[in-house]
Amino acid sequence: MFNNVLAVLSIVILLFIGYNLFYDIKDYFYTKNLKIMDALLSNKIII
């Protein structure tokens, strides 16, 4: 019983960490893409 609880807890913790990492990476790429789009738009306006 105790081993099962430990296994479930470790799986939940791993999933939680993976979920947070995924969201951090997604946010990073999303903001990076927004900055690139802003640069492209400002260049178009200048041209």
Q: Where are the domains of the chain?
A: 23-47
Cα R_g (the chain), whole angstroms:
20
Residue 19 is encoded by which pair of tokens? 């979920």
Looking at residue 31, its pLDDT comes to 87
* Structure token pair of residue 8: 């479930």
Q: Tens-digit pLDDT profile for the chain (47 aa)?
A: 678 999 999 999 999 999 999 999 888 888 888 888 888 888 776 65
Measure the CA angle with vertex 25, ends 24 and 28; round to 5°.
85
Q: How far apart are CA 17 and CA 47, in angstroms?
A: 45
What does pTM read for this prediction? 0.52
Q: Identify the pLDDT of residue 28.
A: 86
Instruction: Report pLDDT for 12.
Output: 96
